[in-house]
């Protein structure tokens, strides 16, 4: 359902000044918006006499009465379902009078249908829009036309489904990789079984979750706050909406905030804390912790698989060529023999050269070091355990020092020995090949000092029954055997090293991350944060397609994503905060790339995912015409980095208790770390884009260094409910074209107070909204704006759920008339 409301000021009808009116979109031809299914409430300034003498403020209880005159103003409510023809006529007349006296408003609303807000890209990622239009007066008596728009997004469900599919495929490949490793030692076989069991469990859970989402998302693009604990919806962000405000005075400017419930796993709850704490205390199985001395990336694991494939292909090929070499030595025709040998030697050189090159890969050497180190440590540990079992009276203090020293010396000797041995192994392959080539050249008379044959030897050579040909094979056979032995030894060591890399990589990406429940929690939290930040990136990209500097900033530096949290550091919200910290940090591995869309159909304009966990790539499709206008670097698929930061200030009564009697160090650490990351991003922007950096750092009313200094000062102050931290971070984010995201527990009440206050501050600071109208505008947005519709969608009522205690603690949000809250 989409709805449109208009609010204004000024005396348009005799008898008072209306605060606003609203009507169904599509009801009047000048206001054509799509997806209208329901009309809720109409407000207009008119009095209709009634024979019923019931006080006006009570007439709304009688559904046959259509007038409600509020005590605090001249607002009148008319319910369409009960309105009579006379009332409809009056309503239409009122609309015509308003449009006649405000042609700018008419033009604004009519043109909004044709602007880029209705482009295929916007229609693909936004749905179920609720729109409110206001008219406020600036200090210079200009009129500010303000459109507030709140929208759902199909990304709430489409991105979690894509992520689940990607995780299922990734774990399936991991299982296949470790299964293909062949026979392993008992220690490694046990680890392989753990990896397979771990991955199969996750695959089963994710397939079940994906099936539930497929059924649920067919009729919904929104997860309400009452469903935040549902097991099958844990990958879906809670109450995700885009909160946008357009200001026209006279140019059009958009301000955007993504609002969603803090990414957290409410199904598993927070009895033992959130992700940050659980990851610190998670238990690592001994088999996995024994591999802690080495760490391999996804790229290294992929290269290990390639090396294994190359070695497996080259080994039988070299053996086959060696056999053909021996067979060719039995040829009776020397000329033919020479041609065959020339061809075979060249092939042996080529294939063996590739083989030696593969063996010289640095990854093989480093993996062999790790294998020998772990084996030495394991042997020493086992030996020490046996000694301790035989000598139970020995004190640990008397043995730790010598044993530790012996262990270190043994490992060091093993590493040095392995390095020399491996260099010798792969060098022997090349040497044995050179020996074969030299022998063939000598036997064919191609050596630098050819052997002079006697007349009897020449006679023997021309004889079919001669033994010279047989002597060629006898001389080549030992060299071929040596080559095969060297190749076999090198292949065995290389296979051991690459098996270690693959198995270790699989264990690090699965078993070593913790239990399956912990991994599911991390993936679910990440999915929620990912959906919100991708929506923010898309809207930021769509709005900046004509900004050359912004596009240069994307591919040279990346985009900033500033998460604003309103969670307390007390009770369950500590666990939510710990979940959100890890989820936001995991976003640092996400990159974006722009691709050309196949068509302009909505399904073809939705983003897709590729890559693996930790190296996720979000592919953003654009229509062909739009894609062609991008800088060449973006069209070539240059990756756009994401730089997430997370600032949190608890603002409810629980935070007051935490600051007085509890611990808020988690919040202080988060804000300090995010401030440093924000400074690093701004420095990178200045260094890589000097022209843009110069404008940001040394021009404007509020220069970036001053804002960063103020933010740093606010964080160091450690003031209670220091909301200036959030304001300063938001100002820096907008200054550098970043993505703004705001969260509280479920993005209803505290988030509504935050975004409405931010909108009014933007009107005052950027568009000179008069100070006396600031409170009026704030009251209007909170009473009649989009966030009341958000509350109703979640809980069925348009009242914000603040209790009396919170009302006294949350002073900065300027909470308006108490009757609009549910106590």
- CA 741 from centroid of its chain's CA atoms: 14
Residue 571 banded pLDDT, cuts 50, 70, 90: confident
Report in angstroms the alpha-carbon separations of 720 from 104, 562, 568: 45, 22, 12
Which candidate, 14, 159, 94, 42, places its Cα nearest to that of 536? 159
* DSSP state letter for 291: T
Which candidate, 791, 814, 711, places its Cα nearest to that of 744? 791
Q: Which residues contact 257 (CB under 8 A, 6 or more apart)?
A: 242, 243, 244, 740, 741, 742, 755, 758
* DSSP state letter for 138: B
Which tens digits make up the pLDDT trace of 736-753?
999 999 999 999 999 999
Which tens digits make up the pLDDT trace of 494-510?
788 888 888 888 887 78
Residue 411 or 478, more confident: 478
pLDDT for 650: 87
H or E stretch at 205: helix 186-216
Domain ranges of the chain: 3-114, 155-283+514-820, 298-392+399-512
Residue the block writes with tokens 């990351």: 677
Residue 744 annotated as catalytic: yes
Is 609 strand, coil or helix? Answer: strand
Residue 690 banded pLDDT, cuts 50, 70, 90: confident
> d(Cα 600, Cα 772) in Å, to the nearest integer?
47
H or E stretch at 776: helix 771-784
> d(Cα 256, Cα 245) in Å, to the nearest integer?
7
pTM to 2 decimals?
0.75
Per 3-state DSSP, what percentage of the chain is helix, strand, and coil (rounded to 5)? 60, 10, 30
> d(Cα 25, Cα 31) in Å, to the nearest integer?
6
Which candidate, 61, 72, 63, 66, places its Cα nearest to that of 49? 66
H or E stretch at 5: strand 3-7
Catalytic residue among 486, 675, 744, 780: 744
H or E stretch at 610: strand 608-612
> d(Cα 175, Cα 170) in Å, to the nearest integer?
9
Q: Which residues contact 666 (CB under 8 A, 6 or more apart)?
A: 569, 574, 577, 578, 581
What's the mean pLDDT in 251-278? 93
Secondary structure (H, E, C), 341-354: HHHHHHHHHHHHHH
Which tens digits make up the pLDDT trace of 464-502?
444 455 577 788 788 888 888 888 888 887 788 888 888
Report in angstroms the alpha-carbon separations of 91 from 42, 52, 67, 101, 638: 9, 22, 13, 16, 55
* Res 541 pLDDT > 90: yes
* Res 27 pLDDT > 60: no
What 770-779 contacts at long range (C-beta under 8 Å, 24+ apart), as own/partner pairs, is 770/137, 770/138, 770/139, 773/136, 773/137, 775/814, 777/134, 777/136, 778/814, 778/816, 779/816, 779/817
> d(Cα 642, Cα 677) in Å, to the nearest integer?
12
Residue 163 or 177, more confident: 163
> What is the pLDDT of the chain when averaged over all its residues?
75
Which candidate, 299, 425, 426, places its Cα nearest to that of 355? 426
Phi, psi of 816 (to 5 degrees): -90, -155
Minimum mean pLDDT among 231-235, 270-274, 348-352, 799-803: which range? 348-352
> What tokens appear for 710 in the block?
């103020």
Which tens digits make up the pLDDT trace of 295-307?
677 777 777 877 7
Residue 286 or 432, more confident: 432
Which tens digits make up the pLDDT trace of 373-402?
665 545 544 444 444 444 444 444 444 444
- Report the phi/psi class of residue 180: left, alpha or beta, with left for phi > 0 and alpha for psi in -120 to 50: alpha
Is 749 strand, coil or helix? Answer: helix
DSSP string computed for 304-338 = HHHHHHHHHHHHHHHHHHHHHHHHHTT-S-HHHHH
What's the mean pLDDT in 288-294? 49
């Amino acid at each position: 359902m989409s709805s449109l409301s208009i609010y204004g000021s000024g005396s348009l009808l005799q008898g008072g000044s209306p605060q606003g009116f609203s009507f169904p979109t599509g009801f009047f031809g000048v206001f054509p918006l799509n997806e209208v299914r329901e009309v809720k409430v109409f407000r207009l300034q008119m009095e209709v006499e009634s024979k019923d003498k019931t006080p006006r403020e009570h007439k709304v209880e009688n559904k046959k009465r259509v007038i409600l005159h509020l005590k605090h103003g001249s607002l009148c409510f008319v319910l369409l379902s009960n309105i009579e023809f006379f009332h409809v006529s009056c309503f239409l007349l009122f609309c015509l009078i308003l449009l006649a006296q405000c042609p700018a408003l008419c033009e604004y609303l009519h043109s909004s249908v044709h602007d880029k807000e209705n482009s295929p890209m916007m229609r693909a990622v936004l749905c179920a829009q609720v729109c409110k239009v206001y008219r406020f007066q600036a200090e210079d008596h200009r009129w500010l036309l303000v459109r507030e728009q709140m929208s759902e997004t199909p990304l709430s469900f489409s991105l979690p489904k894509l992520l689940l599919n990607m995780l299922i495929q990734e774990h399936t490949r991991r299982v296949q990789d470790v299964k293909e490793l062949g026979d392993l030692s008992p220690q490694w076989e046990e680890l392989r079984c753990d990896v397979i069991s771990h991955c199969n469990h996750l695959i089963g859970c994710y397939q079940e979750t994906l099936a539930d989402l497929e059924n649920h998302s067919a009729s919904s693009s929104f997860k309400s706050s009452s469903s935040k604990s549902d097991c099958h919806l844990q990958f879906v962000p809670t109450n995700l909406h885009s909160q946008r405000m357009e200001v026209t005075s006279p140019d059009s400017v958009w301000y955007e905030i993504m609002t969603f419930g803090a990414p957290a796993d409410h199904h598993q709850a927070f009895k033992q804390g959130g992700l940050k704490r659980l990851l610190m205390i998670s238990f690592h199985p001994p088999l996995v912790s024994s591999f802690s001395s080495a760490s391999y990336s996804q790229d290294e694991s992929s290269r290990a698989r390639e090396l294994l494939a190359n070695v497996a292909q080259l080994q039988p090929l070299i053996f086959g060529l060696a056999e053909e070499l021996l067979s060719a030595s039995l040829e009776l025709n020397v000329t033919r023999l020479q041609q065959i040998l020339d061809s075979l030697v060249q092939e042996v050189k080529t294939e063996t050269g590739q083989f030696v090159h593969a063996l010289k890969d640095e990854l093989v050497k480093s993996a062999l070091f790790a294998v020998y180190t772990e084996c030495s440590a394991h042997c020493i540990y086992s030996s020490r355990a046996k000694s301790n079992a035989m000598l139970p009276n020995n004190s640990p203090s008397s043995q730790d020092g010598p044993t530790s020293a012996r262990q270190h010396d043994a490992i060091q000797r093993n590493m040095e020995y392995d390095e020399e041995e491996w260099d010798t192994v792969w060098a022997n392959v090349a040497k044995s090949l050179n020996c074969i080539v030299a022998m063939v050249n000598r036997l064919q008379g191609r050596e630098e000092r050819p052997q002079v044959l006697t007349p009897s030897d020449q006679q023997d050579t021309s004889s079919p029954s001669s033994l010279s040909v047989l002597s060629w094979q006898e001389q080549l056979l030992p060299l071929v055997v040596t080559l095969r032995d060297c190749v076999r030894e090198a292949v065995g060591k290389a296979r051991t090293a690459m098996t270690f890399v693959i198995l270790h990589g699989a264990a690090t990406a699965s078993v070593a991350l913790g239990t399956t429940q912990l991994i599911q929690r991390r993936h679910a939290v990440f999915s929620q944060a990912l959906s919100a930040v991708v929506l923010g990136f898309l809207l930021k990209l769509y709005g900046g397609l004509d900004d050359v500097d912004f596009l240069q900033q994307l591919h040279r530096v990346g985009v900033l994503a500033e998460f604003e949290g309103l969670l307390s550091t007390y009770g369950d919200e500590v666990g939510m905060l710990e979940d959100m910290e890890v989820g936001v940090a995991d976003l640092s591995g996400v990159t974006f790339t722009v691709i050309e869309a196949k068509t302009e159909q909505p399904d073809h304009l939705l983003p897709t995912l590729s890559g693996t966990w930790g190296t996720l790539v979000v592919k953003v499709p654009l229509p062909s015409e739009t894609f062609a206008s991008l800088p060449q670097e973006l069209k070539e698929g240059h990756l756009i980095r994401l730089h997430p930061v997370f600032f949190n200030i608890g603002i409810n009564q629980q935070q007051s208790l935490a600051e007085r009697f509890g611990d808020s160090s988690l919040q202080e650490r988060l804000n300090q770390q995010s401030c440093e990351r924000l400074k690093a991003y701004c420095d990178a922007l200045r260094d890589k884009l000097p022209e843009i950096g110069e404008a940001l750092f040394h021009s404007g009313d509020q220069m970036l260094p001053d804002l960063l200094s103020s933010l740093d000062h606010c964080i160091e102050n450690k003031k209670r409910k220091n909301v200036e931290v959030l304001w300063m971070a938001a100002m820096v984010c907008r200054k550098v074209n970043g993505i703004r995201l705001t969260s509280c527990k479920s993005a209803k009440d505290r988030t509504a107070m935050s975004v409405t206050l931010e909108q009014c501050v933007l009107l005052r600071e950027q568009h000179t909204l008069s100070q006396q109208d600031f409170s009026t505008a704030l009251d209007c947005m909170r009473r009649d704006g989009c966030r009341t519709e958000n509350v109703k969608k979640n809980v069925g009522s348009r009242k914000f759920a603040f209790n009396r205690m919170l009302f006294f603690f949350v002073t900065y949000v300027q909470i308006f008339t108490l009757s609009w809250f549910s106590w």
